[in-house]
Structure 1
Amino acid sequence: MAGRLVKMIASLMAGLLLVACSPSESDQRKAFIAFLQSDVLPRQGARVPQPNAEKQKSFGDYAAHYAVITRFHERMNASVANPMQETMAKGLPRTIEEVVKRKSDIAAVRAGFAKMKEALDQSAAAADTERAALKQPDDLKTVYAATWDKLVAQPVATFREIFPPTDEAFGSALAMADLIDANRPAIKLSGSQIEISNAALRTKVQAAMTAMASKQRAMFEAQQKLRRMVYGS
């Protein structure tokens, strides 16, 4: 009887000791806030630092709050950022002859960007839903909101800015290809050279070329803004 009582007391004391040694909710919240303020917000660009296992453990349940942001970036990278980078690496056609030869490819790329935009909207909506379910004290809520703006809201807004000029750039290339195809007998192509004897048609083609160049510049400027947002320079 006495032995069992001793064991019960020892077990109770061990439990109390464990509770005493476990970090409180306040300590976990402070650790998470400190991480956001020191490791995340001061960094340039929209890159998402990954805390090591020990630091993540110190956040307690608040680690799940950071996971909402990391999951958003995983989805965005897989369905938007990486496909966009691969597409941009191919570049737009450099010559009129290449525009005509790659017409179907240009159309496919343009359609791909439409799917990327849809994927971005879905990723952003999913992240917003997850965030809305989080319960946060006011001190964390303020810092988390700043982190959200930096790592979610700004990237989404900047990616959305790139879609209209990109669509217009590829659309202008397709318009040029259609114009050339519709007047093929009157146009002679040789690499970057184009010969048109009909003055009215030559004016139309020159206008299409000017529009295409202008749309490509707008797309390039949007790409540069996106790069600055991601890398901070």
Structure 2
Amino acid sequence: MRPVHFAPLLLAACFCVNAAHAEEVQVAVASNFTAPIQAIAADFEKDTGHKLIAAYGATGQFYTQIKNGAPFEVFLAADDTTPAKLESEGDTVKGSRFTYAIGTLALWSAKDNYVDAKGQVLRDNAFQHLSIANPKAAPYGLAATQVLDKMGLANQVKGKIVEGQNITQAYQFVSTGNAELGFVALSQVFKDGKLASGSAWIVPAELHDPIKQDAVILGKGRDNPAAKALMDYLKGPKAAAIIQAYGYQR
């Protein structure tokens, strides 16, 4: 009689069970968190079997889409006020909201040695264009305007501001040379503890309101186990390591 090999059969059975319980979760992700969530999504699928389907945009625009019935099940915002507002309006799963990251604002140029370590380049005002995200829709854009106000430079640079719809577009204006410098999320230009390219000033936190980024399960995700699994995963050590590698606080 031939020996029976149980291990492959057992593995195959386990795989079938995991596949049977695997779900997809539709996630609205603030643009500044694009790179981290892509890295997290790969680990999340590998570790849980669930698949994360992400859409990227400005937090304010997502709020409007969610109110108009967009099929998102989880919202990773760039602030804490928008998820709290959705919670107060009955559009979320109560008790699911938490702060998954605290963002850092940076003044960045694609040119080496263009932005100094103290942001003096803003006061020198020798540039032609300064990129920021729409402050009405993007929390990082609002933070940028707060910095300019605190530095007393809002009126001086007003005519030089190039406004992106979200923080991704604000970054693109700088990376393509359409603006010499701009306010971006540090996560867009920072990886593994160092600046990826160009030059930057990491804006001191006291110059703007804290950029607390909250996650929440939306009403449409109430009965999706992948939505709950994602929230748990974001609180775990693997996600935390990725989030911190991109320059966020936890």
Greater fraction strand: 2
TM, length-normalised to structure 2: 0.24
Greater fraction helix: 1
Larger Rg: 1
